[in-house]
Each structure stands twice: as C-alpha cells, then as structure tokens.
C-alpha cells in the first residue's frame, strides 16, 4: 500500500512557521517612537545626576542683553563652570555698566568665587538653580533654569551692570 503525501499540509506548516518567525522578529524590533522615548529618559537621568552633583558646565549658544536683541555666539569657548564650592565664569557681556566699571576695562562676565547661596529646586518641567557669588570686583546673582533634556537658560544679575541672559546647554565637566 502506497502512502499518499499531502502537499497541502506541508505547505500549510511551512507558511505557519514562516509567519510566526516573522511576527516574532517584528515584535522584538523597537519603533522609532520607543527609541526616542528611551533616549529622552536616559538624557533626563543624566541631567538629574549633573544637577544633583552640582558639578557641570553651562555652554551658551546665544546671549540676550537687557533691552537688546539676541546675539548668536560663534565662539564656543565661553562657559560657566558650576562646582559646589566654586563658580567660574567666562562669558561675554553686552550691556550697560554702572559704577565701578570702566569702558573697555573689563573682560565680560569673567569672574570666579565661592557661592554664598546655592539652591536647587525641581519643578515639573525643569530645575531652578539659584547661586549668589562674590567675585573680586562685584557680586553676582545667577539663576539657571535647566530643562529636563539638558537645555538651559542662564540669567546673571550684577551690582555694577545691567542683567544679561544666555541660552545654551549643560554638560558634564570635561576631565582635565
């Protein structure tokens, strides 16, 4: 007796195995939206660690003097370093000087000093960092608003100058 081979059954089994193999492989791939969301969460964790450590650098992309227009910065060497016991600023200044500042006699917002006040407040969408520093020639009140993804907005108020704001990012301090 000859056994009849069922080609329909074999074809069905091959198609079923192929379908489930493809479906399983597809289910393991992440969508672009999932990848973006994971990257966003990782960046938020990195920013939280930087803010909590009080050890980071602010790098400005643009500056807005009080009463002036926005100026895009092409020099990438400007920065403000934040440490728990020291604030170092090397930022450009465009604006009006008051008493104690001679025309052309100063180097922008270039100072360093130990913070007398250093507070961090977390809101729903950002961190608000308030720092008061006494430099060699002036006192400064610094307010840094850090968005959860790392973008930041810095405002510097001084006793001898009009206030100025910078738009940029915070990053990990470079190793020296």
Condensed to tens digits (0 to 9), the pLDDT of residues 23-57 reads 555 555 678 888 888 988 999 999 999 999 999 99
Q: Which two tokens stand for residue 7?
A: 């080609």
166/76: higher pLDDT = 166
pTM of the model: 0.76
Helix (H) or strand (E) holding 33: helix 32-53
Query: Taking the mean position of all CA atoms in its chain, how far away is CA 24?
Result: 38
* CATH pick for 55-171 out of 3.40.50.670, 3.30.70.141, 2.40.128.410, 3.30.70.20: 2.40.128.410
Percentage of the chain with pLDDT > 90?
A: 48
The span from the CA of 8 to the CA of 23, in Å, is 22
d(CA 96, CA 73): 19
**pLDDT exceeds 70 at position 107:** no
pLDDT of residue 136: 83
Helix (H, G, I), strand (E, B) or coil at 159: coil
**Mean pLDDT score, 108-115:** 90
Answer whether 96's CB lies under 8 Å from 158's CB. Answer: no
For the chain, the structural domain boundaries read: 55-171
Q: Which residues, 6 or more positions from 52, have their beta carbon under 8 angstroms from its beta carbon? A: 120
Q: Could you give the CA distance from residue 146 to residue 168 in angstroms, rounded to a whole number?
A: 9
């Amino acid at each position: 007796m000859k056994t009849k081979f069922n080609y329909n059954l074999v074809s069905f089994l091959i198609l079923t195995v192929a379908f489930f193999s493809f479906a399983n492989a597809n289910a393991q791939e992440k969508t672009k939206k999932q990848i973006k969301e994971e990257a966003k969460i990782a960046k938020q964790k990195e920013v939280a660690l930087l803010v909590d450590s009080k050890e980071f650098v602010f790098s400005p992309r643009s500056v807005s003097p009080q009463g002036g227009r926005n100026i895009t910065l092409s020099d990438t060497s400007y920065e403000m370093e934040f440490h728990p016991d020291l604030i170092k600023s090397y930022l450009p200044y465009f604006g009006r000087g008051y008493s104690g500042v001679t025309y052309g006699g100063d180097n922008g917002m270039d100072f360093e000093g130990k913070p007398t006040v250093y507070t961090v407040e977390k809101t729903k969408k950002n961190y608000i960092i308030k720092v008061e520093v006494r430099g060699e020639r002036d006192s400064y009140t610094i307010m840094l608003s850090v968005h959860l993804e790392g973008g930041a907005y810095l405002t510097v108020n001084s006793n001898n100058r009009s206030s100025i704001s910078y738009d940029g990012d915070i990053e990990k301090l470079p190793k020296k």
